[in-house]
Amino acid sequence: MLYAPSLVYSQSLSHFDPSSLSPIQKGEFLLAQSLKDDALQLYQSLIGEGKEGVYAFRGMVRAYKSMDKLEEAKVWIEKFLLNNPDSSQALYAFGYTYYLQEDMKMAEQFFDRALELNADNALALNNLGAIFSQQQSYSQATEKVREAILINPKETMFFRNLEAIYKKMGDPGLIIADYNFYLEQGAADLAKGYGMAAGRNMRQTGFRFYHEGRLDDAIQKFLEIEKVYKSIKHQLGLVPVYFSLGLLYEEKGENKNAKKYLNRVLVLNPLHIQAQERLKNIQ
């Protein structure tokens, strides 16, 4: 039976080197390991050194959130603003604390103030988009998130959020239309971001087809994802696509095609244990 595949690297944890992570990624790693105090100290140190910009503030607020201490976050940010009253980053962080506390009125006020000081504060724009989406003001929501994307097209979170807004609007296919538009425009970064989001949208459709017993339609959908990912050179994304195709063809009894796609998985990721096991089971 087909299931949502995940990337399987099968590498020993001893091969993982945290020193290879960026400072923000190190903070995220520490939070994932429940090392909340260490994460908080790291983010505050980065802010004190003027490094990593608004993402350090966002990480700090998330660390306080994980400790259930958002009120302490506000106190820390207030003190910072006393010496840095024109910090768009700190005002964003203040807004983000209110956002996490679901006080959208106050959150919106601080995001607006952050943007008055720096119109390129993409995280503030993205959060405003989320607020407008909750208010079902979808035109404003998409406008804000698209602005954030244009400022930082390498932030995958923005594309995921835009896709989520399209779904709430009842028109999830818009993300695919966006991808096609930017692909034709030759805007590589934008095409890649929208393409990855479009791939996720198609993948969900493919799984729905599968659960409805429409194997041929599911296969066709994953072949469409393959085309998208090749066009944006998203090699990592091809691994689960090829694995899904291998499983689908195996279920159809088309073992030759199943082997072809499972072998493609191993070309891209030789340590993919599940693909290795499936190949062994195919006669």
Q: What is the pTM of this model?
A: 0.85
User: Which pLDDT score, from 0 to 100, does residue 3 have?
Assistant: 42
pLDDT one digit per residue (tens) for the chain, 283 residues: 444 433 233 333 334 456 678 999 999 999 999 999 999 999 999 999 998 899 999 999 999 999 999 999 999 999 999 999 999 999 999 999 999 999 999 999 999 999 999 999 999 999 999 999 999 999 999 999 999 999 999 999 999 999 999 999 999 899 999 999 999 999 999 999 999 999 999 999 999 999 999 999 999 999 999 999 999 999 999 999 999 999 999 999 999 999 999 999 999 999 999 999 999 988 6
Element (H or E) spanning 260, and its range? helix 255-268
How many Å apart are CA 222 and CA 20, to the nearest integer?
Answer: 33
pLDDT for residue 266: 96
Contact assessment for residue 42 and residue 27, using Cβ atoms and an 8 Å cutoff: yes
In three state form, how does the secondary structure of 42-75 look? HHHHHHHCCCCHHHHHHHHHHHHHHCCCHHHHHH
pLDDT value of residue 15: 46
pLDDT at res. 17: 58
DSSP state letters, 224-248? HHHHHHHHTT-HHHHHHHHHHHHHH
DSSP conformation class of 58 = H
Task: Identify the DSSP state of 20.
Answer: G
| Residue 70: predicted pLDDT | 97
